[in-house]
Amino acid sequence: MLKGRKAVVTGCARGIGLSIAMALAKHGADLAIIDVAATDGAKEEEALNAIQSFGTNVKYYACDVSDFETAKEICQAIASDFGGVDILINNAGITRDNLLLRMSEDDFDKVLDVNLKGAFNFSKHLARTIIKSPFGRIINISSVSGIAGNPGQVNYSASKAGLIGMTKTMAKELASRSVTCNVIAPGFIETDMTAVLPEGIAENLKASIPLKRLGQPEDVAALAAFLASDYAAYITGEVIKVDGGMCI
């Protein structure tokens, strides 16, 4: 489905990002995977090995996506190494949860810098390359918190809501060049972020979801692969929830 396509996925060392990268590789895409450099690099090496198992060309780049100039250098290297880019998936994200009255300025700024500015940085620096592709795709991973809000996540919700507005604008700006831009808004997905939830809270969450379960990273990855494919060529500017019906 994606044979010969060249994709960039940020936040790839684990969770949703890793599942998305594996889904794209499974369908034949070559991958540039981005993650912040870890202390020992074990997660990055493990992710690289898992993605390479599908036999496509995969290369890892260490990058703090919130750093404008570093992101520019990495994007230039990717375009050179791969001879172009067709697909960009902005997945990198962090949380620094707290109630509004207790949230520090640093925690607010850091989440916006990574989650929102990081997506801007990679979209801006790769846009000229992507518009040269006959099947350009930009997919931003938001959250249902950016649609409905969530107590204790004023920073995270703001960053994910910002991604939605940014994506809709990019969709209008890039449509004349046949580049589609869409948003995936996951609900509660079983990742490292949700693994720290107390058992009682996790059970209450499941009870509030019509499908009565938390989602899997593969649920999000399947939609990302579809939106990156030719099957979604006439879909742009959309926000698609993957939340088991939580925000119906």
Backbone angles phi, psi at 214, to 5 degrees: -80, 155
Q: Is the pLDDT of residue 197 over 80?
A: no
Question: What is the per-residue pLDDT for 10?
Answer: 97
Tens digit of pLDDT for each residue in 72-81? 999 999 999 9
On the question of pLDDT at 86 being above 60, the answer is yes
Q: b or e along 57-96 (b: 16 or more beta carbons within 10 Å of the residue's beta carbon)?
A: ebebbebbbbbeeebeebbeebbeebeebbbbbbbbbbbb
What digits encode the pLDDT tens for the residues 160-182? 999 999 999 999 999 999 999 99
Check residue 39 and give its pLDDT: 55
List helix spans (H) across the chain: 15-26, 42-52, 68-82, 105-112, 118-130, 145-148, 154-174, 192-195, 199-208, 217-228
The answer to whether 143 and 156 are in contact (CB under 8 A) is yes
The share of the chain scoring above pLDDT 90, in percent, equals 86
Q: What is the pLDDT of residue 200?
A: 75
**pTM for this predicted structure:** 0.95
Q: Convert the pLDDT of each residue in 131-158 to its tens digit.
A: 999 999 999 999 999 999 999 999 999 9
- pLDDT, tens digit, 9 for 90 and up, residues 4-47: 999 999 999 889 999 999 999 999 999 999 999 765 667 788 88
DSSP class per residue in 164-214: HHHHHHHHHHHGGGT-EEEEEEE-SBSSHHHHTS-HHHHHHHHHHSTT-S-
What integer pLDDT is reported at residue 106 of this predicted model?
Answer: 98
Catalytic residues: 156
The fold of 6-240 is Rossmann fold (3.40.50)
